Structure 1
Amino acid sequence: MSSFLDPKVKPAPPQTSSGGVPGNILMFDGVALDTRCQYCPERNIVLGLCREHSKNINLEVSDVKSVEDIRTALFEPPSDANKVCFGSDATVVAIAPYARSDHYRPVPLVVSASDKTEKGPELALWIRTLLDAYKLHEFGGSISGPIWALGSDGDSTFRSARHIICMTHHLQVVNSDMEIILRSLVGLNLYTSVEGIVGTCDPKHIFKRGFNSKLFMYSTIYILCRICNTSPKYPGLYAI
């Protein structure tokens, strides 16, 4: 945040007509990692280990024994309380504005290694820590704008964490024109986080699920972007 959200690097958004600052979406996704360690001379620590178990070992490199302790925790841990794993997947967090045509590209904030054993509640706690850090940072909410939404793909752990954070409080828009409009939209989710953050997802994954389910159904095939269904009367005959 200190580097990428610095107004000298990314200018702060202009204020809205009401005097506020436009909001942002915090986006989460996972990318595959090479399972190996790397030494970081700036921080004098070993990188590449999973966040789930890194607390079990001292990652600072002070002597040969400290490196040997990490090797033991990786390959010969005396117990589960002393083990650590390579990070096989990285949780990538980026932030992007909703109401800007300039500086619109997402800005990466976090890349954190994981062994993918983390469940929804643990990931929700990790995301909550990130939200609190962003809110309190000098270049965070007060300069770059508040977080309006959390977005992720269809991964079950991300969806669970998003649900835990963003489904706690019912949106309060009492005695306003907005309330009349929102309450008339049947099926609209009016629940948010404690500070009003909503949960969202990448729509393409919804379309992909529908496409893939039809693509792999026994009774359906695709030819030249057209759905072909088997005839109930003639199972071997496809009708376009």
Structure 2
Amino acid sequence: MDVLLNPAYAALTGPHAGFAQVRGEVRVYPLDVAPFLGLPDEPSEQDWADAAALIGPGRVVAIKHPDLVVPGSFKVDLTIDLVQFVAPAGLGAEDAELVALGPDDVPEMLSLVALTDPGPFRARTIELGSYLGLRQDGVLIAMAGERYQIPGYTEISAVCTHPDHRGRGLATRLIRAVAAGIEQRGDRPFLHTGTANLPAIRVYEHLGFTLSNRTKVTVLQIV
């Protein structure tokens, strides 16, 4: 399978292996880093049993996979249709007004995420890659950064702008700036969004992103 169709597994068996909690062939990020479970492309009964033992009761995890058959030992809480886009060559553009975000910025980042809901972002998500932000009068009003790192690609994630500052092109600036760092490492940027998020899709298409896959995110837990 194309690594882009199974990004959590590709990351956790590749560049993000140092984060992986492991049982058999199954991988998962620590709870405070990301909710994503990594399964082989065609998970076996043993893989599902190892996943259940690894995550334990009560923990909610998410899997990005286009066609996942979930066994009855798991409860599916939610399934969301996603589109995945890959950036055009040369998208990156550095932006001197943006600032690098670090651990001291995490409380503000979590507040901005709670307000805008760009997708999962937790206390240690910032450890997965570089994050950039824009401040106005000292207040963080927009940010974006890197999440999955897989062979040849890095995901742009947590793209969000405070509602009071939308319509100023801040998301575009942040995407291009994050892309610049990814391209400097020799990787190609990619990203995901929900099929219903038409404003975001229009931004990505305007920037020259091309559709690479249609997939799903499945949120589940042990019954």
Query: Does the TM-score normalized on the shorter chain lie above 0.5?
Result: no
Normalized per residue, the structure richer in strand is 2
Structure of greater relative contact order (alpha carbons < 8 Å, 6+ residues apart): 2
TM-score normalised to structure 2 length: 0.25
Q: Which structure has the bigger radius of gyration?
A: 1
TM-score normalised to structure 1 length: 0.24
